[in-house]
Amino acid sequence: MTELIGEHQRITDRTEAHVINTARNDAAYALTMSQRPEVSRDELCRLVAKLAGAVRDVASVADMRGERLNSPAARALEEALRAALGQR
């Protein structure tokens, strides 16, 4: 039984790491694209939708881990995204 719980935890940890890394990559890509004048509003809207999904997934991971997204780092990320999107 302990072995099964350990394997479940390893799978959970890998899944959570994947979700967080994907969100980081999506955020970096979106910020890069937001700086390109040739990117259309449609493309930006799709990026925002993708980011919203990534934020939802990361929030789920944080909830499962009992963490909250009101840390200074989370607020800084929110402000950076708002500033980048407000430039358009």
Q: pLDDT at position 37, please?
A: 92
Q: What is the pTM of this model?
A: 0.62
Q: pLDDT at position 68, please?
A: 58
Q: pLDDT at position 61, please?
A: 81
Q: pLDDT at position 36, please?
A: 92
**b/e 47-65 (16+ beta carbons within 10 angstroms → b):** beebbeebbebbeebbeee
Q: Residues 23-57: pLDDT tens digits? A: 888 888 888 988 899 999 899 888 888 888 888 88
Contact call for residues 22 and 54 (beta carbons, < 8 A): yes
Q: pLDDT at position 57, please?
A: 85
Please check the confidence at residue 84 and state whether its pLDDT lies above 80. Answer: no
Contact call for residues 58 and 20 (beta carbons, < 8 A): yes
